Amino acid sequence: MEHVAEDWSSALAIVAHPDDLEYGTAAAVARWTGQGKAIAYCLATSGEAGIDGLEPERAGPLREAEERAGAALVGVDIVEFLGHPDGVLEYGLPLRRDIARAVRRHRPDVVITGNYHDTWGPGMPNQADHVALGRAVLDGVRDAGNRWVFRELLDEGLQPHRVSSLLVSNVPGAEHGVDVTESFAAGVASLEAHAEYLRGLGDHAMSDPGEFLESLARQVGTALGCTYAVGFEVVSV
């Protein structure tokens, strides 16, 4: 496993739901903000369908607040929500356009997203929103650099912007990693900030978020040659 290049200064993290970034990626974000890098979060949905015992009208604002709190713990103070419906996120032009718009507004060096592949591994299918969002990010990032795609963005004053690479977290068999040994605790705190969501998982709730994240980070750390690490697929744009 190779180390992810860190010769960049700004990033935009785009995922489907509040808490998607907190399953490991937030620890890498804490490392990077600690280096002085500027990172913003952009979430396609508000996660309003994620708590079975709480109606979406109440769950959405609650989960947005938890996401902002978790982001602050890893040095992120810009958190945006695109307002797409949770649970039925669709790959298509509206989502690609919103992603291209966000990239042109923030103008990051790199874009961070989550696993968009069909599975997490053998016998573990990925969730539909993750797949739709990740594939829209792949295309939306390219759209952001092409002035003749979504030409209405030019009318909004948003000029094309090209990013250098896409960092995709939690991909099985990832060949790159980030040493998060020093920032691991901040990543755990970021997930723990989603207290109501974690409680709302009911029978599926994890008893110890830190222990769960440690089991993931230690395995990748062994491959990278450190205590704790987060794996990434690096996609050249």
pLDDT digits (tens, 9 = 90+) for 17-40: 999 999 999 999 999 999 999 999
CATH code of the domain containing 162: 3.40.50.10320
pLDDT digits (tens, 9 = 90+) for 42-65: 999 999 999 999 999 999 999 999
Average pLDDT over residues 1-27: 97
Give the pLDDT score at 201: 79
Q: Which domain holds residue 68?
A: 2-236
* Percentage, residues of the chain above pLDDT 90: 92
**DSSP state letters, 78-146:** -EEE--PPTT----SHHHHHHHHHHHHHH--SEEEEE--SSEEETTEEPPHHHHHHHHHHHHHHHHHT-
Domain count, the chain: 1
pLDDT digits (tens, 9 = 90+) for 152-187: 999 999 999 999 999 999 998 999 999 999 999 999
